[in-house]
Structure 1
Amino acid sequence: MNRSCVNCLKGLIIFLNFICWLCGAFVVAFGEFQMMHSKFGSLITSFWPIYPANTLVVTGTIVTCVCYLGVLGGLKENRCMLITFFILLFILMLVELAMACVFLVYSREIDSFFEADLMRSLEIYKQSDPDGNLTLKNDFDAVQYLFRCCGVHGEADWEGNIPISCCTEDPCNTVPHLNWKEGCHIKLRNWFAGNFLSTGAGVVTMFIIQFACMCVIIPLFCHFSRQRLGYL
């Protein structure tokens, strides 16, 4: 392999890893943004991957670190870095595939976790003192206000003690006041489904870039090995 081909492969692997690194950094930033601005973090606790922000931050952080290693390995023509990057990238791709399979197999169970957590949060809300569990109460009120819903399956879940956040008017200054009829379970489930669709599209894009990186690394590493180059 002549030097021009080597330089071309180096440039390609650096470019692909840099794009992948940018994608990972964006995923982390987007996950952090969701964490800071979400109004229902305390309501979903049984199955943490159901909360997209957690998955985004963890996946994005790992991708960013691994791709940074690939960029350095390409720039320095370091075989140790390249083979380490190849192994880590291969493991990362296996983990991504495993997570995709888990969500595919447990898609129905995830909805059950979702409903059970919302019912648990609603019961805690009803049984709490006025000054107790304020974070959970604020989150539940925010969900009902933002998604225009009431209770988990409907206003009957509140058994007559309906909070002001269920009111259809803003400000709510009439007695008795009208409440949203639809439950929050369906609204939140649809919202999460949309988020998972966007997250899945991003993961598929990164997977394709990662696979292209692995395909480019193999001939480059073989060339460095034959020439006894790249350890320093």
Structure 2
Amino acid sequence: MSGKQQHFKGPEVSCCVKYFLFGFNIVFWPEQLSATLKDRCELLGAAFLAVGLWAWAEKGVLSNISSITDLGGFDPVWLFIVVGGIMFVLGFAGCIGALRENTFLLKFFSVCLGLIFFLELTAGILAFVFKDWIKDQLNFFINNNVKAYRDDIDLQNLIDFAQEYWSCCGAHGPNDWNLNIYFNCTDSNPSRERCGVPFSCCVKDPAEDVPNTQCGYDVRLKQELEQQSYIYTKGCVGQFEKWLQDNLIVVAGIFVAIALLQIFGICLAQNLVSDIKAVKANW
């Protein structure tokens, strides 16, 4: 009888899938790991959360939580808080679930990705079916933020960026700035910006290195044709629609790529869960 022993190999957890899923989650949770996987983690999601909380601290929101609801418009800091929170939770579940072969965390990761994918798909379909309603909501959203333009510096910077990027002014035109107490044309308005628009509405002079922040003063007192020489007269809703049409392939490609990455992540997680269950069943 031969002294050699036969070894029967049972099901194994795929190291390739395991570490590929871990690598996939680097997008959500980048880590620097030693050989023993005990190095301190640097979390991208936590960084987003930290930036959001720092911005709120600078604006005094953390010392007065009720001020979150005081802003009449949209606070861009919410983007950092929400995105950072989602990235942190998903990254934690995916990375730790893959490294520790924890089926609960892996299932949680795949279910969350599936839910996000479903919500994105639903939003895309509804946006296509109810285009007019979406347009009305966008108009309402912009006008609300026009009213709150001076109430929050982050919102102000966001509106200025949008108006400069899309070469627009207001939701439908410069007269939408009548909604703002500083820019409206009423006789009772004592503001120096009365009947004006923010500097981001101004047509840029290539020769100017420094923006003229007073370029929009009194500009709406001029005739409409004369205004076109000084400011953008097209609304941001129409300009945004035009931008989407001009960049439809690029925008669609980005959404398809994100969807494929989400499906890929779900497949990796489910494959790893199946491997782990197969190994446990063989014990």
Report TM bin, short chain: 0.5 to 0.7
Gaps of 5+ in 2: 1-8, 31-42, 56-69, 179-183, 186-193, 206-211
Whole-angstrom distance in 2 between the partners of 1:100 and 1:55: 20
2:278 maps to what in 1?
Answer: 226
Whole-angstrom distance in 1 between the partners of 2:275 and 2:170: 63
Report the identity percentage.
18
1:101 maps to what in 2?
Answer: 125
Secondary structure, in 3 states, of the residue corresponding to 1:77?
Answer: coil
Q: What number of residue pairs does the alignment pair up?
A: 207
Query: 153, 167, 185: which one pairs with 2:236?
Result: 185
Whole-angstrom distance in 2 between the partners of 1:67 and 1:227: 25
Deviation at 1:104, TM superposition (A): 2.6
Query: 13, 18, 23: which one pairs with 1:10?
Result: 18
More relative contact order, 1 or 2 (CA 8 Å, 6+ apart): 1
Secondary structure, in 3 states, of the residue corresponding to 2:280?
Answer: coil
1:217 maps to what in 2?
Answer: 269
1:162 maps to what in 2?
Answer: 195
Q: Is the 8 A contact 2:13 2:272 kept in 1?
A: no
Deviation at 1:206, TM superposition (A): 3.2
Secondary structure, in 3 states, of the residue corresponding to 2:195?
Answer: coil
Question: Cα deviations across residues 166-214 of structure 1 (Å, max 9, x unaligned)?
Answer: 6668455999875326133356635984999977655543322221122
Q: Is the 8 A contact 1:111 1:189 kept in 2?
A: no
Whole-angstrom distance in 2 between the partners of 1:142 and 1:223: 52
| Letter of the structure 2 residue corresponding to residue 189 of structure 1 | F
Query: 70, 73, 78: which one pairs with 2:102?
Result: 78
Secondary structure, in 3 states, of the residue corresponding to 1:228?
Answer: helix
Larger relative helix fraction:
1
Deviation at 1:53, TM superposition (A): 7.9
Q: Is the 8 A contact 1:44 1:114 kept in 2?
A: no
Q: Aligned in 2, Cα 1:108/1:80: closer, same or farther, shift over 3 Å? A: same
Whole-angstrom distance in 2 between the partners of 1:113 and 1:189: 13
Q: Is the 8 A contact 1:144 1:184 kept in 2?
A: no
1:111 maps to what in 2?
Answer: 135
Secondary structure, in 3 states, of the residue corresponding to 2:20?
Answer: helix
Deviation at 1:69, TM superposition (A): 0.5
Whole-angstrom distance in 2 between the partners of 1:121 and 1:10: 46
**In terms of mean alpha carbon deviation, does 157-166 or 9-18 score higher?**
157-166
Secondary structure, in 3 states, of the residue corresponding to 1:227?
Answer: helix
Q: Is the 8 A contact 1:44 1:117 kept in 2?
A: no
Q: Aligned in 2, Cα 1:190/1:21: closer, same or farther, shift over 3 Å? A: farther
Whole-angstrom distance in 2 between the partners of 1:115 and 1:17: 37
Pairwise CA RMSD of aligned residues?
5.1
